Amino acid sequence: MNTAPLTDLLPCETDSPEATHALGRRLAEHLRPGDVVALYGDLGTGKTRLVKGIAAGLGIPETEVTSPTFTLVHEYRGGRLPLYHFDAYRLRRLEEFFDLGYEEYFYGDGVSVVEWADRIEPLLPPHTLRMHLEHLGGDRRRITWLPPSPKADRRA
């Protein structure tokens, strides 16, 4: 168990895919049932790479994790907690997320991680952890926390 505060993880810079993967593994040590991690950032900034690290940190076999671009969500079990990996890149309407039964995931017993989270902003719970990834040139990436969104789901 990692006792350092979660906020200490970021901001940070990574200089390789492996370093971003390692960040995901460290983040996973902090995650609890019902946590939602929202990932923001352009194509190729390392969102999927980070999710693979989170999966590894939860004890889910590495080889399984691929981006759910066409299915919206992949579920991974067999780790410390279930992992629900969303990719909203191709989402056209929020209704598609409702049809998926997203609340069962977000308010469930596993960890949800969402790539392209800006596409489902109104559906994100208030306790969502928001991470922004950006290109710094070459293999360098800057990863920061974003503040809670005023548009987040207000029910909880």
Q: Which is nearer to Mg ion, 36 or 153 (CB)?
A: 36
**Which two three-digit tokens encode residue 104?**
């069962």
Applying CB under 5 A, what is the total number of residues that bind Mg ion? 4
The item of ligand ADP, Mg ion, none sharing an interface with residue 121, based on CB under 5 to 8 Å by kind, is none
Q: Which residue number has the CB closest to ligand ADP?
A: 46
Within 104-143, the residues that bind Mg ion by CB under 5 A are: 115
Contacting residue, 48, 58, 105, 123, with Mg ion by CB under 5 A: 48
Which spans of this chain sit near ligand ADP (rule: CB under 6 A)?
14-17, 19-20, 41, 43-49, 115, 139, 141
Q: Quick one: what does residue 14 bind among Mg ion, ligand ADP, none, with the CB cut-off 5 to 8 Å set by partner type? A: ligand ADP
- Least distance (Å) between residue 55 CB and ligand ADP: 13
Instruction: Give the end-to-end CA distance of the chain in Å, rounded to a whole number.
Output: 27
- Cβ nearer to Mg ion, comparing 113 with 124: 113
